[in-house]
Structure 1
């Protein structure tokens, strides 16, 4: 599922796209660490956060955890 990230860098709005939950979570962590305000939505327009992404990754797991 694709994710859209709208980030408010100083002086400009930037939109990123992440194709996987892992890529979206990596971008989440990067922006949060840099203190950049942002909003992330999934392909259905639903707002997601890092916990949602981790839950989605876990739900895909094959049960070997």
Structure 2
């Protein structure tokens, strides 16, 4: 148990004293970039999925006829 507490203490010290944190303004800007990219990417995937779904539906209609 002492090893676990020592690990937590050293981890906290490392994060507090040796990690360079991104400035708040840059973190906000990068968050917006990630959100915008995620929305665009999800819309692209949705569009491709819809197109393939319609294509497969059309193919099965042709085969069934």
- Structures share fold, TM-score greater than 0.5: no
Whichever structure has more helix as a proportion of its residues is: 2
Higher relative contact order (CA 8 A, sep 6+): 1
Name which one, 1 or 2, has greater alpha-carbon Rg.
Answer: 2
